[in-house]
């Protein structure tokens, strides 16, 4: 079993777990739970909401570190980078994997503005229940991400236009990485987009390298997006486009060339 890609491993001991002020400002916009009376009241309620999401993630991490894979929710900046492929027009089917406390969920809802469908697949029943309360327009399913083809088919969708992942890929054993990535490749529309992120401190773990190799086998194009240094911990974004055709056995496309993906974070 590989080590979890834990943010805790890189945190200085006395560093507070709360995100920076810039990230707090962003979270304000995407939170659907706040009522505002005065700016000060709004700010303190928002800080409470943020603290509770941070506390929830930390609690779930302590309970189940490998599945949770992070000690704190992602920042607004990382969320903006990861959700960039959500189309501005039309009625897309957007799937979110591993939404956690909803750091990307609110941003996707803002981008959709009531269009299309938004399915969120969260394996942790406590987090799934919390998301259902917080985001009534999101269909939250307490399932494994690898069940994606069945879950979409049951809802009458052949394909997804965008898959956004918050999954802790570097914590997963190879079978879970492979089955989950195969499921994503299977459901993604030919012109669809898959976006995910990884932590800079964990990018050289064998499990992280294996995942990036699988990405190159699953997609014709794998592009490294921005490195978000302001995230806690710093994270890089990966976009997969043009999913390769699935072979009859479900195995990776046999002709997949092994082109290295150059990550900006590797320059530093």
Ligand X SMILES: C[S@@+](CC[C@H](N)C(=O)[O-])C[C@H]1O[C@@H](n2cnc3c(N)ncnc32)[C@H](O)[C@@H]1O
**Which residues of this chain interact with ligand X, rule CB under 6 A?**
67-70, 73-74, 97-100, 103-104, 121-124, 127, 144-145, 166-168
Two tokens, residue 206: 């064998």
Q: Which is nearer to ligand X, 77 or 216 (CB)?
A: 77
- Least spacing, CB of residue 45 vs ligand X, in Å: 20
By beta-carbon proximity to ligand X, the closer residue of 28 and 38 is: 28
Q: Which residues partner with 223 through β-bridges? A: 239
State the maximum Cα–Cα separation within the chain, in Å, rounded to a whole number.
60
Q: Is the dihedral of CA 204, 209, 215, 216 positive or negative?
A: positive
Residue 36's SS3 state is coil
- The residues near 122 (Cβ < 8 Å, ≥ 6 apart) are 98, 99, 100, 128, 131, 140, 141, 142
Residue closer to ligand X by CB (options 68, 207) is: 68
Please say which residue, 127 or 238, places its beta carbon nearer to ligand X: 127
CB of 74 to ligand X, least distance (A): 3
- What is the three-class DSSP state of 71? coil
Is residue 90 classed as helix, strand or coil in its secondary structure? coil
Place of tokens 């911990």: 233
Answer whether 203's CB lies under 8 Å from 227's CB. Answer: no
In angstroms, give the least distance from the CB of 255 to ligand X. 29
What is the H or E stretch that residue 152 is in?
Answer: helix 148-154
Q: Report the distance separating Cα 78 and Cα 229, nearest Å.
A: 9
Minimum distance of ligand X from residue 58's CB (angstroms): 12
Distance CA 114, CA 170 (A): 33
User: Nearer Cβ to ligand X, position 172 or 219?
Assistant: 172
Q: How far is the CB of 83 from ligand X (least distance, A)?
A: 11
State the minimum distance, in angstroms, from the CB of residue 230 to ligand X: 14
Query: Residue 98 or residue 243: which is nearer to ligand X going by CB?
Result: 98
């Amino acid at each position: 079993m590989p080590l979890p890609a834990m943010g805790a491993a890189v945190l200085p001991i006395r560093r507070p777990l709360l995100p920076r002020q810039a990230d707090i400002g962003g979270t304000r916009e995407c939170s659907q739970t706040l009522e505002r009376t005065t700016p000060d009241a709004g700010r303190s309620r928002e800080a409470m909401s943020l603290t509770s999401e941070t506390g929830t993630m930390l609690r779930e991490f302590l309970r189940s570190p490998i599945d949770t894979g992070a000690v704190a929710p992602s920042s607004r900046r990382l969320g903006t980078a990861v959700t960039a492929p959500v189309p501005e027009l039309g009625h897309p089917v957007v799937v979110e994997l591993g939404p956690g406390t909803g750091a990307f969920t609110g941003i996707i809802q803002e981008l959709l503005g009531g269009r299309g469908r938004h399915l969120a697949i969260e394996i942790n029943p406590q987090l799934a229940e919390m998301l259902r309360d917080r985001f009534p327009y999101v269909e939250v399913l307490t399932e494994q991400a690898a069940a994606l083809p069945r879950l979409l088919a049951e809802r009458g969708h052949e394909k997804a236009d965008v898959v956004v992942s918050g999954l802790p890929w570097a914590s997963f054993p190879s079978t879970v990485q492979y089955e989950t990535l195969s499921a994503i490749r299977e459901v993604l529309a030919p012109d669809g987009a898959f976006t995910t992120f990884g932590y800079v401190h964990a990018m050289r773990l064998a499990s992280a390298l294996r995942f990036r190799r699988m990405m190159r086998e699953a997609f014709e194009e794998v592009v490294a997006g921005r490195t978000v240094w302001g995230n806690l911990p710093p994270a890089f974004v990966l976009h997969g486009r043009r999913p390769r055709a699935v072979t009859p056995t479900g195995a990776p496309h046999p002709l997949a060339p092994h082109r290295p993906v150059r990550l900006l974070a590797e320059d530093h």
